[in-house]
Structure 1
């Protein structure tokens, strides 16, 4: 059937043929955001991942209301936040009960904030005083990183802390997850330590000591650095992967402007995913700012779905 253009980009329920049994057609339904996949097929981004359907197999499609968001259990949110913190390790990481006070000399909010994912072992006002003390001691801005909508975020907000709207990288981010699906590609070089070319693509400059400790720590977590070369031998893209428990944490994905729109980012991720699968990982996880809609759409096409969000909170200036 003809799919109306007005439904592209909308949330739909799409019924399609998947075969037949005993001479009778078999059907399946997919519910999610509809997008085109060339002239002969469409994609429906469901909660379990993208479903590709040939247009000729579609028998019915209609718009449906937005899904009611499902919240991950707090225990799962806390575990995943802890894994992400382990994958992007701050040079200074001190426990405060179940909180983690982190400092990295100003390099990224993730490694320069107090991660609040449980009981700090003292009343929250006293814990926030410790966050302030720690920040002064290490010359950073007092900042709390808390899962959005969690009791930990509410407890901090009740003390007058507000969204860090001035944070250039984004005050709110989504944590995305997907099953691992890897494939080796000879164009991608994988190394346990970043090369000079990797640093140049990632930072456009030699790394500071803090950046080196966060990105390429000695010891845990186990990391891999993927570098993709073009036909001339020049480096066109890079990605960092960190193995934490059964997850591959992805970061520093970047493709040179001359190599964009050629599927190179997908090739890089697949190569690192294959490495992670060989080492026992089952899932990928990454963090992306909410305002980075292009990146979120790209990862969505690869099957990543939102697990939860987190926010940065800072003391009110009032």
Structure 2
């Protein structure tokens, strides 16, 4: 048996005795908590006293499991609720969205589920809706999904010219880990001028205000609860709770204040607030080309859940 101290932090198969004297195995990352060993299994932590260990060996990392398309669709709809378009009309399970061109998320058809009509007809409806609201026809679709394949088969192609990034990673993280040891950060239910100055660099347009500040137009009993974090003169963040998820967005830190913990403090404060609101997980959307943001969230323990991309008509 390898020395237990050499296996800490690695994925292991640990055989140990139960109270009845029977033997069982625990598989997962090995950690230490005082005098006990803890194996972080898929079903939760298993605590083992050192004298009960019979054998332990390192094993290869687990093959990541792809989430079901139903889980992907659920998370995509949560994110859409957290980032409300000014116009959001159903097309079967699809959502036709427009917000004056502010962000691809709020100005595209979210294609998850059954549109209730053949896909070519659904895409024609997307075109008609987009023309009627003065935005380009665009579909937001999870990469590799049945809906992605169906839209691509109809001749729609990657929106390669999309300035903010045509391919996006959807990340999830445990709120307890994000919220650990957060310093005091000002949180408010509505953004003030200082928040807008950091998040946008100017006063918002009506469409930007609609998307980012649901409190400016929604009823007080709305199901989406929003908060705005601010470190004055340094950084800002937006967070929204939908169901058991906290949607993080619009993290902005002035260049001269980066690498000083401002982004981490803002994220942690938002996570602590989300946990108080009953959320368990954080979710955020980061363009694949934004390697700085992806590295930042990776360091905080966020993991990729799935990706989506924007598709546009191939003949335009």
CA RMSD between the two structures:
2.7
User: Aligned residues, how many?
Assistant: 266
Deviation at 1:186, TM superposition (A): 5.6
Selected match of 1:203 from 193, 200, 211 = 200
Q: Which residue pairs with 1:285 in the alignment?
A: 283
> Is residue 226 of structure 2 the alignment partner of residue 223 of structure 1?
yes
Is contact 1:16-1:29 (8 Å) kept?
no
List gaps (5 residues or longer) in structure 2. Answer: 1-5, 11-15, 17-26, 31-41, 44-57
Name the CA distance, whole Å, in 2 between partners of 1:255 and 1:291.
Answer: 18
Pairs within 5 Å for 1:24-103: 69-103=64-98
Instruction: Tell whether the 8 Å contact from 1:103 to 1:113 is kept in structure 2 after alignment.
Output: yes
Give the structure 2 partner of residue 24 of structure 1.
Answer: none
- 1:158 aligned to 2:150? no
Query: Judging changes above 3 Å, is the alpha-carbon distance between structure 1 residues 29 and 247 closer, same or farther for their aligned structure 2 residues?
Result: closer
Is 1:15 equivalent to 2:7 in the alignment? yes
Partners of 1:295 and 1:174 lie apart in 2 by 11
Cross-structure match for 1:248: 246
Cα distance, 1:16 vs structure 2: 3.3
CA displacement 1:23-72 (0-9 Å, x = unmatched): xxxxx9759xxxxxxxxxxxxxxx99xxxxxxxxxxxxx9x7x9755321
Query: In structure 1, how many angstroms separate the alpha carbons of the residues matched to 2:9 and 2:260?
Result: 32
Which string of whole-angstrom CA distances, capped at 9 and with x for unpartnered residues, describes residues 228-253 of structure 1? 13xxxxx2111000010000000000
1:139-178 aligned at under 5 Å gives the runs 139-178=134-173
Residue deviations 1:141-174 (CA, integer Å, cap 9, x gap):
0000000000001110010000110101111100
Match for residue 119 of structure 2?
124
What SS does the aligned partner of 1:225 have?
strand
Q: Does 1:192 align with 2:189?
A: yes
CA distance 1:17–1:313, change in 2 (3 Å): closer
Cα pair 2:184 2:269 within 8 Å, conserved: no
Q: Which is further off, 67-76 or 259-268?
A: 67-76
* Deviations 1:231-276 (CA, angstroms, capped at 9, x unpaired): xxxx211100001000000000011112111111111111111111
**Can you list the C-alpha shifts for 1:89-148, whole angstroms capped at 9, x where unaligned?**
000000000000000111000000000000000011110000000000000000000000
Give the Cα–Cα distance (whole angstroms) in 1 for the partners of residues 296 and 258 of structure 2. 13
Question: Runs of 4 or more off by more than 6 Å in structure 1?
Answer: none
Provide TM-score, normalisation by structure 2: 0.78
Structure 1 partner of 2:292: 294
Deviations 1:172-225 (A, max 9, x none): 100000110225756411000001000011111100000000000133321000
Query: Cα deviation per residue 1:280-307 (whole Å; 9 max; x = unaligned)?
Result: 0100000000111111111011110000
CA contact (8 A) 1:15 1:29 kept: no
3-state SS, counterpart of residue 133 of structure 1: helix
Shift of 1:317: 2.7
Q: Using the TM superposition, name which of 115-124 and 66-75 deviates more.
A: 66-75
